[in-house]
Amino acid sequence: MAFPESESLGVAVQDGTAAYPGSGRYEVLDGRMTLQDVDETVRSVLRGEGVPLGEPAEREPGGLVFELDGTPVQLRSRPVADAAPDTLDPVDPPAGRTQVLLTAAGPLSGRAEVVFDRLVDALTSRGRCYTDAEIDTVVRGMPLVARYADEEPAFRDWALIFRDHYVENSVGFLLGMERAGMDKEWIFALSKGDRTEHRDRVHAWFLHRGYRSDTLDNSVINGSADTAARAYALAVNERVDDFVRQAHGAGRKVLVIDDGGLLAQGYGADGVLDERIDGALELTVSGLKRITNAPGGLTVPVLNMARSRLKSMLGYNEIADSCVRRLRAVLPGEKFIGRHVLLLGYGTLGGRVAHALRALGCRVAVVDTDILALITAAEHGYETYTSAGEALSAHAPFLVIGNTGELAITHDDLPLLPDGVYLAGFATKDFSLLSEGFEGLGSTTIPHVGVRYALPTGTTATLLGDGRSLNLFEYEGIANRGYDAYRAGTLIAAKTLCREAGRLGPGLHLEPVDRAIDDAGLFAAYYEEYLASGARRPAAPAAPAGTTPETR
């Protein structure tokens, strides 16, 4: 079976069927894979399904013909031009793409449809994977993780559950954990459910690497998920239970690196769930709140990365930078300079966002319920208010930013919102009054921007993003080098916990985190790597181009 030369891979299609006579089902796919990757993926699926290949009667570079229950199926593939990098750093030489056309010559039986679907799924997943060259750029973009990813013997006796955003720096971190001795077959990665830009690529690569990968959505942990999301979370929890059970059965302890999602469900307490972990690293302040409200008391050691000097002094600067960059990217047509912005919450993140917006030329007013936060804001020259209602009565901001992690806009505040105002949440709960909905609230989705709400007052307000942290909406979040130090510090803390779990008692521990990071000299290494004037230390050796991750 051959394609008409005039159409090549651009064969005309209508309603899921190729438009030339005798054709059946077709699929057009493309992804970052070579012709060899395509061939190997197809052959692997067919071998697994017991479909004989033999020597096809018709074969050319990028082509393959086989039969599914007597129906000929042809695969054609070709390299295609690529417009832009699909990673934060460009790849040299650029990672190309391959386009694939999979076509059946006629109707497929039920069994053949199943195999056809599996071919499509396998090719889609393989095409989403990062290439070796792309992974090399991620590793090179996190030199401090590479520096501290030396062998840790204690890791040989542990399994890891890592729950965080599916972004490039998470890939770099887990590779660092591997290089330090964590067995990739004992890594279970869980996405927090944010719509990060490359979440599908990260998930596909994790599976290809040999990790287990799934989603445990924050909405489930926060109690705002719908019925379907809760049901899916129950299934994921069963897989987590099974992973913990298997690890313990193999004589391994289980380390969790998370934002309190698993601990909030009782994995760190006795008598709450059937399975219990053996130690954890807590990454976020919201996670600390979840731990406080978790069932049962902690019976395992938990290292407090969220309040560490590393995150407070370095991490939040990068988070604030990513928030403001994403905000401006979502609203490229808006004027910011000279306009009123209302900032709800002047904490560790809020203060930095306020400073960045004022440096941009915005007139920033601040709301906080903490009197010391208000004093600090006022002495830094901001107008300050004790409630959103008070501030909205005094100003008509074009933009309201939420950083509180609590319900920041109430029903009483809605009539005070200026018509057409933008709402940008950098903590999920701030604008949940709108994102969770109520009677009489109309909404229209604006793709790649957010949701415009028609308020009962007759005015509109646009919630940017998906109601979660805006800097993680269709975006990579923080630059790899920007989060390099925090990921390196997390790796250092993980080593400390796995070595000292028997000595550390149950509960939250902050001092061991700060001590371990100081002892490792991370701050000096960070300064030397990124900030020092004059001579720099030699760069850490990078993997040669084309080196596979297994040979690093």
pLDDT in tens, 468-479: 899 999 999 899
Mean confidence (pLDDT) of the chain: 89
CATH superfamily of 312-472: NAD(P)-binding Rossmann-like Domain (3.40.50.720)
Cβ within 8 Å of residue 200, ≥6 positions away? 128
> In the structure, what pLDDT confidence band is assigned to residue 12 with cuts at 50, 70 and 90?
very low
CB 441 within 8 A of CB 454: yes
In this model, does residue 365 exceed pLDDT 70? yes
Q: In this structure, are residues 401 and 426 in contact, taking their beta carbons and an 8 Å threshold?
A: yes
CATH 3.30.310.80, the chain: domain bounds: 25-128
CA distances from 117 to 10, 322, 391, 511 (A): 21, 39, 56, 53
What was the pLDDT predicted at 473? Answer: 92
CATH 3.40.50.720 range(s) for the chain read 312-472
Q: Give me the pLDDT at residue 541, please.
A: 52
* pLDDT for res 297: 87
Residue 147 is classified by DSSP as: H
pLDDT tens-digit series, residues 103-127: 999 999 999 999 999 999 999 999 9
pLDDT confidence band for 3 (50 / 70 / 90): very low
pLDDT, position 54: 56
CB–CB of 168/198 below 8 Å? yes
Cα–Cα distances in angstroms (integers) from residue 160 to residues 31, 211, 278, 298, 499, in the given order = 30, 10, 10, 19, 14
Convert the pLDDT of each residue in 385-443 to its tens digit: 999 999 999 999 999 999 988 889 999 999 999 999 999 999 878 899 998 889 989 99
pLDDT of 373 > 50? The answer is yes
From first CA to last CA, the distance across the chain in angstroms is: 43
The CATH homologous superfamily of the domain defined by 25-128: Kinase associated domain 1, KA1 (3.30.310.80)
Domain 142-303+482-530: which topology? Rossmann fold (3.40.50)
Q: What is the pTM of this model?
A: 0.88
pLDDT of residue 9: 42
Query: Per-residue pLDDT averaged across 87-97, rounded?
Result: 86
Report residue 542 as tokens.
Answer: 């990078």
Residue span(s) of the chain under CATH 3.40.50.1480 come to 142-303+482-530
pLDDT in tens, 507-516: 999 999 999 9
Cα 147 from Cα 132, distance rounded (Å): 20
Higher pLDDT among residues 524 and 295, named by residue? 524
Task: Determine what percent of the chain is predicted with pLDDT higher than 70.
Answer: 91
Please state, in angstroms and rounded to a whole number, the distance separating the CA atoms of residues 228 and 237: 14
Integer Cα distance of 428 and 406 in angstroms: 8
Parallel, antiparallel, or unpaired: how do β-strands 13-14 and 17-18 relate? antiparallel
What pLDDT does 85 receive? 85
Give the CA distances from residue 534 to residues 142, 521, 523, 530, in Å, rounded to whole numbers and listed in that order. 21, 20, 18, 11
Helix (H, G, I), strand (E, B) or coil at 140: helix
* 353 touches 470 (CB < 8 A): no
Q: What are the tokens at 473?
A: 């909406």
Q: Encode burial over 28-49: b for 16+ CB neighbours within 10 A, e otherwise.
A: ebbbbbeeebbbebbeebbeee
Average pLDDT for 59-71: 80
More confident residue, 219 or 461: 461
What is the pLDDT averaged over residues 155-170? 97
Q: 3-state DSSP: the chain helix, strand, coil percent, rounded to 5?
A: 40, 20, 40
Q: Please give the order of strands across the beta sheet that includes 253-258.
A: 212-215, 187-191, 158-164, 253-258, 279-282, 301-304, 507-509
